[in-house]
Amino acid sequence: MQDQDNRELATECSQVDPYILHLQKCLSNIHKVIQKTNDILCSISHPSVCSEVLLSSRGTDYISEVLEVYRISKRIEGGMKTLHLDYDSLQLALRDIELSWNNLQAFLSLCPCVLQMLPPPSSLDYKVKGTSSDPVCCLKRCCGVCLLEEEPLGGESVDNMLMHGGHLYHPSCANFWLNCIDSNLPVLSCHKNCCLYAPS
């Protein structure tokens, strides 16, 4: 029933703005990845076994990959600010991701050395330059998955982004999309509020 409601809401929002369906698809799959990790760790009955799993090389690599997926949700949050997309459905999806992430961190607290691998929350704050009255930046300067142009200090710059089919993508965003959503990278047209938008 909830999946049907989500699909109906996604369809309704996509009629308002085609970017909404794209972002909902991303956030929904991010939530699935993090929730699946929670489910896996929750199924381990003994804390000592959970610690052993987390401390193994495969376990730490897996947590690092999940962290990258969570990082994409924070980029999307920044991309939403860039494009001035403030929809309740997207905010609810971000909230669900935060709840699942907080639950995951509770499991990671069983292994302080694994918990220390996580970056401080401030480093995941993808702030966008400018104000809400500024024109929306052109998608040609944004990642085609998270829709974010600006990066935090020490983050991936445009120089580190991949160019594919005339569109930019963060490597981790592209990897997530290809492995968790679709075998083809997304190609969105410029937003109607883009500063360089010229309708055909």
For 25-69, write each residue's pLDDT tens digit.
999 999 999 999 999 988 887 888 888 888 888 988 999 999 999
Q: Which of 123, 157, 154 is nearest to 143 (CA)?
A: 157
Amino acid occupying residue 173: C
Residue 3's pLDDT is 56
Highest averaged pLDDT of the listed ranges 61-65, 78-82, 174-178: 174-178
Q: If you average pLDDT over every residue of the chain, what do you get?
A: 79
Alpha-carbon gap, residue 64 to 185, rounded angstroms: 23
Q: How far apart are the first and last CA of the chain?
A: 40
Lowest mean pLDDT segment, chosen from 4-18, 156-170, 176-190: 4-18
**123 or 104: which leads in pLDDT:** 104
Residue 165's pLDDT is 87
What's the rounded mean pLDDT across residues 133-153? 69
